[in-house]
Structure 1
């Protein structure tokens, strides 16, 4: 029920934005917007809804065939500071409609609100068409279901380096998360393997130390079509041997469509994990992204 209320609130927010969407840019076509959105430091507002469908594999009994569905919401409303310099404050709110968790008796599917993460960063576009971004990234123990809750609050630095090219853009984001405070062992019988809490050490007592991020590219095609991907990777420094690295390769396609005055970026990506934790980890992932492009409120 809480999930339905949240999604309804977000839908109303997007509808309210659409009533006056793009009034300040009346001449921009969907194709022009698609090319502008390829710039990771573009001064454009988006309400992103990445929806992930994940298949798992691993050595644990019952790991093969486990799957998850996650609906994410990430508003991105850059705050212009000066020409080519923007401030970003971007929360990411996951909703797990199904997520496998490990228990003493095997796997159990759980659902609920996930652990909210957020970054605060400043991006700058240089005359050379290089883009840099620096800031901080944090993850918080906000999951409504204890089985989905991270063991620790995390905090650490974030950097991005990207290049605008003749064909589009390419870049990489790197973050490092250190655990802050005590490790939460209030629910030792059930544990989810989540993006911010990859397979832990054998005794589960190690503090979080994860280097993660994503690499991304966008290739502009005709009529607003784009080839694009933004797979996420992670290296858990404290995981046991064989369970440290999670690395996918991926590709996809997207296009900006207009619904009345409201532009919406719609795309799909497929990721194949060339490295995944031996015990239990993702093997295949499909991401559907729906992102209304909205005017900035400032």
Structure 2
């Protein structure tokens, strides 16, 4: 994981000096900032959670997006495939809301629970707003019980955003309930709210805040809310002929479950595949 950190930081540093077309950057920037655009992309997000009572966690989340246009609608498939190196008893995470047993010790490494969401979104904005709605399901795919909820969960997700000239603002909401799985594990009943805002700068740079807030209705009253505050910076550029979106962010959890981390630092490398 330390090697991954070094490679990510080096890639970000090398790319700072590379230039690309401002028009292409602008078009890609709008598509990248829209989670339900018609742009195929494969983000790799490296997250490093620090300050939890039972140890730090490292997460690589691979989140491919595959849109298909059918008539006047975009059908956007979004996956969350998390890979963890984490201590036992990690507090509930957005992809794995049932995690959390502080009595467990030792570290676990492997695949977590995979989430899939299918958004139905009009091709054309409605009164300036882009929106999407669709089903979401989380599969019990964790390779270690400490890395997943032990449940199959389903629900709905919705997103809405606006893109004025200066950037993008909007939000995504999702709620999941468990419907199958290990009866001895805690039921999943979790709300996720993700407000986001991007402010565009020159030469493909932008500022971003993308806070993933979760509320676990099944947890004890003092351990339900995870509320991060923070943001970061990003850049649209190219590696050779490959368009990429790079992000570096940091968030502090102002409200958190007792075993959750205090800080999260993340680096994202998003491969972009524009049409044409």
Task: Output the TM-score relative to the length of structure 1.
Answer: 0.75
SS at match of 1:222: coil
Correspondence 1:267 to 2:247: yes
The CA deviation at 1:294 is 1.2
The CA deviation at 1:242 is 0.3
Aligned to 1:29: 24
Match of 1:294 among 266, 273, 276: 273
Aligned to 2:235: 255
Instruction: Indicate how the Cα distance of structure 1 residues 220 and 286 shifts in structure 2: closer, same or farther if over 3 A, else same.
Output: same
Q: Report the RMSD for the aligned CA atoms in angstroms.
A: 2.4
Instruction: Indicate how the Cα distance of structure 1 residues 112 and 164 shifts in structure 2: closer, same or farther if over 3 A, else same.
Output: same
Unaligned runs of 5+ residues in structure 1 are 1-25, 58-62, 186-204
Contact 1:35–1:224 at 8 Å: present in 2 too?
A: no
Q: Where do 4+ consecutive residues of structure 1 move more than 3 Å?
A: 102-107, 182-185
CA distance in 2, matches of 1:160, 1:93: 20
What does 1:51-66 correspond to in 2, within 5 Å? Answer: 51-57=46-52, 63=53, 66=55
CA distance in 2, matches of 1:104, 1:38: 37
Correspondence 1:100 to 2:80: no
Instruction: Indicate how the Cα distance of structure 1 residues 182 and 29 shifts in structure 2: closer, same or farther if over 3 A, else same.
Output: closer
Instruction: Indicate how the Cα distance of structure 1 residues 276 and 53 shifts in structure 2: closer, same or farther if over 3 A, else same.
Output: same
Contact 1:30–1:263 at 8 Å: present in 2 too?
A: no
What does 1:1-298 correspond to in 2, within 5 Å? Answer: 29-57=24-52, 63=53, 66-83=55-72, 85-96=73-84, 98-102=85-89, 107-124=105-122, 125-185=124-184, 206-277=186-257, 279-295=258-274
Contact 1:140–1:150 at 8 Å: present in 2 too?
A: no
| Count of equivalent residues | 245
The CA deviation at 1:281 is 1.0
Aligned to 1:193: none
CA distance in 2, matches of 1:206, 1:292: 36
Instruction: Indicate how the Cα distance of structure 1 residues 27 and 170 shifts in structure 2: closer, same or farther if over 3 A, else same.
Output: closer
The CA deviation at 1:227 is 0.5
Contact 1:131–1:162 at 8 Å: present in 2 too?
A: yes
The CA deviation at 1:138 is 1.1
Task: Output the TM-score relative to the length of structure 2.
Answer: 0.81
Show CA shifts across 1:220-241 (max 9, x none). 1111101012221111111112
Instruction: Indicate how the Cα distance of structure 1 residues 246 and 183 shifts in structure 2: closer, same or farther if over 3 A, else same.
Output: same
Q: In terms of Rg, which structure is larger?
A: 1
The CA deviation at 1:113 is 1.1
